[in-house]
Amino acid sequence: DSGVTQTPKHLITATGQRVTLRCSPRSGDLSVYWYQQSLDQGLQFLIQYYNGEERAKGNILERFSAQQFPDLHSELNLSSLELGDSALYFCASSGGSDTQYFGPGTRLTVL
């Protein structure tokens, strides 16, 4: 158990809908990262927050957005969903070192 929690575990929705994925980092970790894992692309970095502020952006679509709240939990919002957005979404956290600890992931299926 990494100490990072993610909800929900599974999400099934329809094209055009909007969903919110939630992540709670390890106790004391200030950095939260979001990654997408699909069969063809592997694990891809989406975005990083540090203590509530956006720190780095990767291959994140404009339809996607994220935020980190004062209690350090983070949410990833995905809107106007397409079939190709079906993937595993992972949250990771770190604090004081380079090592990122990953949560169990949310499996998103868009029908």
Partner 1 sequence: EDQVTQSPEALRLQEGESSSLNCSYTVSGLRGLFWYRQDPGKGPEFLFTLYSAGEEKEKERLKATLTKKESFLHITAPKPEDSATYLCAVTQGGSEKLVFGKGTKLTVNP
> What residues make contact with partner 1 under the rule CB under 8 A?
2, 4, 31, 33, 35, 42-45, 48, 55-56, 58, 88, 90, 92, 94, 98-105, 107
Q: Considering the complex, what minimum distance in angstroms separates the CB of residue 42 from partner 1?
A: 5
Nearer to partner 1, 78 or 93 (CB): 93
Closest CA to 66 of 92, 5, 74: 74
Please say which residue, 78 or 90, places its beta carbon nearer to partner 1.
Answer: 90
Q: State the DSSP string of 48-76.
A: EEETTEEEEE-S--TTEEEEE-TTS-EEE
Residues 21-31 as b or e (16 or more Cβ within 10 Å = b): bebbbbeebbb
* In the complex, least distance from residue 88 CB atom to partner 1, rounded to whole angstroms: 8
Q: Least separation, in Å, of the C-beta of 29 and partner 1?
A: 12
